[in-house]
Amino acid sequence: MDRELPPVTQPPAAVVQPPPLPTPTPETFAAAMPAAVGVPRAAAATIHFEAWGPRVLLEAFPGIEREFRRQAPWIDVQARLDNALNSDGLRTRLRIGEGPDVSRLAPEDVFDFTAAGFLHGLGARIDADAELRGAAPAAAASRTGAGGERSALSLGAAHQCVLYNEDHLEDAGVEAPVTWNRAWSVAEFEEAARRLVVADGDRVERFGLTAIPAYARPVLAEAGDGSFLDAAQRASTMATPQRQARLQRLTGWQTTLAIELPISFRFVAPFSGGLASMHIDRTDVGRWIRASVPWAVAPLPAWDDRDVLTEAEELCVAVPAASSEPDAAWVFARFLLSAPAQRALARTSLVTPARPETLDDPAFLNPNRRPYNRTPLIQATTRAMLSPAHPGAKAWHALTGDAIAPVRRGNEDAAAYLERADALITRQLRLRGWSAAADRPGYRQPLPYGNWFLADLEERGL
């Protein structure tokens, strides 16, 4: 294919040395845990807590547990922090009535687990806890079951943003927006990416952009006001002319425009190594960017003069219905949203904490960590798209993740892809008898068919 490369940007004339970091900010902790209103104190209760994730996240939990033990000595927490754990394994154990008392849960599984009756309902406890509702109002509303049942707490989220190399942008004369209130338009973003490409004849030395496949999620959500089902909620409606046009334009970034270096999965190495000037990903990858790279964050580009949306990947915890100590489990799950626990999570740089007050805390605004300006991350908490909440949501999550990469590379037709996605998601809805009438509290589905669509993905080569 004949590709016209953009004008060449000359490489930097000198190596830029980053300035020395300031003195570390002292860490502080609150003296007491807020009272868990309406929850009786269990006598000498023992609960089991499970979580998985990056090492730096798991290393934060022992300190949180020690502070919890100091404030609630009547509850013994036995933790299993292990990357061998995952939601699929938890699903199997919960189906036979086994599992921990408090567990991390993949956000895309909250609907399924709630509808299957696997989780302890938290609505009454949340309604009785005025401090929690005031201090972290979005913590219980991010992921819900049918009819809005609240069975999981969001401790924070990693949001999609544009990570950019400050030196590269400065050398090319590109200015990045620092607020979601004035984001790049798509045309402006494409022009910036063109200017950041460095080419020598037919060889590209540096691309303007890399992006995770899941960047398609907020793009598709903006194209339809976040609605992915028809009015009766019986069929998926991803295949629209507007969404097809957007996917075609994204394909152009990797083919016609030649500004984007295709990557699969979440692969930060091209950006960390200087092969790309911008990288669209969730900012929890920041710890894996080389310390010598002077990176910052900007909001995602805006499509069609619309409000810019970002995807939130929440850190969710839930209390399984089979827990023999639901009161004690709630006290611990609730503590994970207390000020000390939120500060500990903020210091990992993996999530933007759920308590708004922590966004102004030195634990989150530590000037020793990149990015120095966290304004876009703070504002992203109010710009997160609403993920689908229906029996096809797990299929939607997979289809708009790594499986969409062939479309972005131009190897798969966007219209055909969207039609197949609709067929798979609609089948999930029909398998579980879903409709607008089922969108109510108390909806229960048969045994989870969460992985049935994966066979179709393999058969169709997606």
pLDDT band at 143 (very low <50, low <70, confident <90, very high): confident
Picking from 343, 307, 276, the residue whose alpha carbon sits closest to that of residue 179 is 307
Interval 354-409: pLDDT, tens = 999 999 999 999 988 889 899 999 999 999 988 888 999 999 999 999 999 999 99
pLDDT value at residue 443: 87
Q: Does residue 283 share a domain with residue 197? A: yes
Tell me, letter by letter, the H, E, C secondary structure of 65-77: HHHHHHHCCCEEE
Pick the last residue of a domain from 324, 350, 374: 374
Across residues 131-143, what is the average pLDDT?
87
The stretch 133-139 carries a mean pLDDT of 88
pLDDT score at 222: 84
Q: What is the pTM of this model?
A: 0.85
Q: Are 221 and 385 in contact (CB under 8 A)?
A: yes
Residue 315's pLDDT band, with cuts at 50, 70 and 90, is very high
Structure confidence at residue 444 (pLDDT): 85
CATH of the domain at 114: 3.40.190.10
Domain assignment present for 11? no
Same domain, 325 and 440: no
* Residue 39 confidence (pLDDT): 52
Q: Which two tokens stand for residue 409?
A: 């590379």
Q: CA 378 to CA 364: how far, in whole Å?
A: 10
Helix (H, G, I), strand (E, B) or coil at 411: coil
**Residue-level pLDDT at 404:** 94
85 is a domain residue: yes
Structural domain count of the chain: 2
Average pLDDT, the chain: 86
Residues 75 and 190 in one domain: no
Q: Which of 20-29, 257-266, 312-321 has the lowest mean pLDDT?
A: 20-29
Residue 345 lies in a domain: yes
- Tell me the pLDDT band of 252, cut-offs 50, 70 and 90: very high
Give every CB contact of residue 58 below 8 A, 6+ residues apart in sequence.
51, 52, 81, 83
Whether 70 maps to a domain, the answer reads yes
Pair (95, 146) in one structural domain: yes
* CA 419 from centre of chain: 25
Q: What angle, 0 to 180 degrees and rounded to 10, lies between the N-to-C axes of helices 414-431 and 452-459? A: 150
- Which residue in 325, 328, 358, 333 sits closest to 343, CA to CA? 358
Beta strands 198-200 and 203-211 are antiparallel
For 214-223, 406-415, 421-430, 445-454, which range has the lowest pLDDT when averaged over its residues? 445-454
Considering the domain architecture, whether residues 301 and 411 belong to the same structural domain is answered as yes
- Can you tell me the distance from the alpha carbon of 379 to that of 31, in angstroms, rounded to the nearest whole number? 29
Q: How far apart are CA 112 and CA 108, in angstroms?
A: 8
Range of the domain at 261: 159-311+387-459
Radius of gyration of the chain (CA): 23
In a domain, 90, yes or no: yes
Report yes or no on 24 lying in a domain. no
Domain boundary among 350, 374, 398: 374
Mean per-residue pLDDT, 157-175:
96
Same domain? For 411 and 265 the reply is yes
- Considering the chain, what percentage of its residues have pLDDT values greater than 90? 68
What pLDDT does residue 129 have? Answer: 93
Residues 257 and 336 in one domain: no
Shared domain check, 142 and 218 = no
The answer, yes or no, to whether residue 454 has pLDDT greater than 70, is no
What letter would DSSP give residue 7?
P
On whether both 320 and 449 belong to a single domain, the answer is no
Q: Is residue 201 part of a domain?
A: yes
Q: In this structure, is residue 30 part of a structural domain?
A: no
Domain end position, chosen among 374, 395, 421: 374
In Å, how far are 50, 146, 215, 407, 454 from 419, measured between CA atoms?
A: 39, 25, 19, 13, 16
Check whether residue 305 and residue 212 sit in a common domain.
yes
Do 281 and 413 belong to one domain? yes
49 shares its domain with 195: no
Per the CB < 8 A criterion, the answer to whether 277 and 207 are in contact is yes
